[in-house]
A and B are shown apart, each in its own frame.
Chain A
Amino acid sequence: MNFLSGIRNGLQEIWGHKLRSFLTLFCVMLGVASLVLVNGFIDGLFRGWLASMNARGGLERIQVLPKAVKKELRHLSSISSGVTELDAERIAEFCPEIQSVSPEIKLDPATLRYRGKTERANLYGALPEVFVANRFDLESGRGLADLDQAQNAQVIVIGEEIASKLFDPGEPVLGKTVELRGVPFLVVGVLEKYEELIGDYNLLGEKNRSAFVPLSTLQTKVQRPPQLTRITLRIPSPDQLAEITERVTNILFQLHRGVEDFEVRTNEESLAAFQSTKRGFVLAGGAVGAISLLVSGIGIMNLMLASIHERVREIGLRKAIGAWGRDIFVQFLVEALTLGLLGGVFGVALGIGGIELLQGIGEFRPQLSVSSVGVGFAFSVLVGLAAGVYPAFKASRLDPIDALRYD
């Protein structure tokens, strides 16, 4: 008896006991579907988080942000000059292993104008390092240059969405002049398009709405803010995160004469929070999976035992005309496997349907991935095999003569 005729046999037996089989299949189906769904949720969570973590520079990014001084120390705040370009210079000087130190000023609100069209932008005055520090790559043109800073050049690098909104499709963008608060800027570079879709929401959409001008130009020609919005640091590897954070903090305390008007922020906390959330999900998913496994397994085993009880004469006959114990074992195992697989197919279908349905609802969407479908199938095969072994073994050990005489 080959595997396919075994499956056919199994299907015939399932069809022969419709209600009983349906009830068992229903258990397996629900088990598999819940597993696919939970797995999908975990995948969605993980992917979404990873994307936003990357968008925020990952663990290699440290940010220095200005912070309000505590009320009782407010009278001291005037002895510190806040977060300034000097801080950035000193950090670069005393921590040479930091790959890039990018002082940035955000201009808010910032509207870019081109031939009557206007577009809101996340506009930063920055140094050339800003692209490395914040993981931006150029699609065309060039980035900011040191010379731009020195000359207070009126040049701008814009994000993909800004370019596509301000300019017509196919229209050359480089070399055009856009206006920012009445000051003309020459477009010298366009950034790559960033996309990480969850449903139709682009997690990285904010990146595409960015625009960068030289820091010195912003300070001299558009606005003259006393303080930086932030300093973005990029370190070579997450291993050095703790050490560099501590050194940067020390340097800043020195420069700020001990006034805590700054904050050194890393993505570590959000990683830790994420990891504990994920652990919780995996644990809950694992528990759901284990219970489904148990329930489906019990269902299949119950069905197989009943089926074998009914078919003692068949087993006896098969053994009498030459079946080995092994043949009987395989026959019943394949039947159990067929049950599991069938439940698996329906369950995966139901799970996929559930995931598709949930795409439309809520902001936290599960994600359909190969791994969740794979886990669903693996689970159904496993459950079929695990639940089938004992009944199949029992069947294979029947004595033909007892089985033939059995009424």
Chain B
Amino acid sequence: MTDALPLVCMRGVKKHYPVGSTVVKALDDVSLDIRAGEFVAIVGPSGSGKSTLMHLLGFLDSPTGGEIHFDGEPVAQIGANRRAMIRAEKIGFVFQSFNLLPRLSVLRNVLVPVSYIRRRVERAEERALAALDRVGLRDRAHHLPNQLSGGQRQRVAIARSLINEPRLVLADEPTGNLDSRTAESILTLFEELNAQGRTIVLVTHDPNVAAHARRRVRVHDGKIVSDS
């Protein structure tokens, strides 16, 4: 199941923020391999550095120390435009604060990532509707985000992350606003995606959610304290 080469490989990664005269160590000396096809949960208390770690995995952010490789390539050496292209084509993000665009309908929100794929995309709308179907929101396709509940918005954000069929899904608290039944169905969705061969990294503080993952990485004060 595990490839020889990890999909993402972190070695001694640091993310330090100078705040006044002190330094906030959001991440400190983290080494982590994520292999293709894995389902990993990143757990830890609030402020432990989970979101920071996720942003680094998707190279939205640059580390202040250490090295990150994606698909065997040192991320530091990839130019900004190619990074954006890799993100568009290979990575699906679900952000902690969903970040839907308020003026666009649900359907068009789901379609936003398609416009940043730099080739012709066939049947985009059909695929967006299918993605909405998977999160149970097909009938809301023409609503605006502010006409949806928090949990529904979160599911739209999940549908959006799936539209380009990414190899790696990075989800920050994707079930944070959902009741346990809806959460369960979303987790089943992630399991299905994982079974299709996609790599899933899921950030959560909920042990029940983490239980769905095959591997749990525990973060505390910017350090990995356990990995099983």
Contacts and interface: CB of A to CB of B under 8 A. Distances in A.
Interface of A: 1, 5, 12-13, 16, 313-314, 316-327, 400-401, 404
A397 B84 CA distance: 14
A163 B11 CA distance: 102
Among the interface residues A16, A316, A404, which one has the most CB atoms of the partner chain B within 10 A?
A: A404
Contacts of A326: 81
Nearest to B160: A321
A5 B60 CA distance: 26
B66 to A, nearest CB: 17
B113 A321 contact: yes
Contacts of A320: 58, 60, 87, 93, 95
A1 B121 CA distance: 12
A143 B218 CA distance: 109
B99 A317 contact: yes
Given A1-B115, A317-B101, A401-B60, A324 B81 contact: yes
B99 A404 contact: yes
17 contacts: A16-B103, A313-B97, A317-B112, A318-B112, A320-B58, A320-B87, A320-B93, A321-B93, A322-B84, A323-B84, A324-B84, A325-B80, A325-B81, A327-B116, A401-B60, A401-B61, A404-B99
Interface string B49-71: 00000010010110000000000
A8 to B, nearest CB: 10
Interface of B: 55, 58, 60-61, 80-81, 84-85, 87-89, 93, 95, 97, 99, 101, 103-104, 112-113, 115-117, 160
B52 to A, nearest CB: 9
Closest 8 CB pairs of A and B: A322-B88, A322-B116, A317-B99, A401-B61, A1-B115, A321-B113, A322-B84, A322-B87
A95 to B, nearest CB: 76
Contacts of B80: 324-325
A105 B84 CA distance: 87
Given A13-B103, A401-B61, A404-B60, A319 B115 contact: no
B29 to A, nearest CB: 20
B75 to A, nearest CB: 14
Given A1-B116, A12-B103, A404-B95, 11 more contacts: A5-B115, A316-B99, A317-B99, A317-B112, A319-B84, A320-B93, A321-B88, A325-B80, A326-B81, A404-B60, A404-B97
Contacts of B93: 320-321
A3 to B, nearest CB: 12
A263 to B, nearest CB: 74
B99 A313 contact: yes
Contacts of A325: 80-81
The B contact surface, by secondary structure, is helix
A313 B61 CA distance: 15
A322 B86 CA distance: 7
Nearest to B116: A322
Nearest to A314: B101
Contacts of B113: 321-322
A322 B117 contact: yes
B168 to A, nearest CB: 13
Given A401-B55, A401-B61, A322 B89 contact: yes
A231 to B, nearest CB: 77
Contacts of A324: 80-81, 84, 116
B101 A322 contact: no
Contacts of A323: 84, 116
Given A12-B103, A16-B103, A321 B61 contact: no
B146 to A, nearest CB: 12
B85 A317 contact: no
Nearest to B163: A321
A13 B80 CA distance: 28
Nearest to B82: A324
B62 to A, nearest CB: 9
B107 to A, nearest CB: 14
A355 B84 CA distance: 52
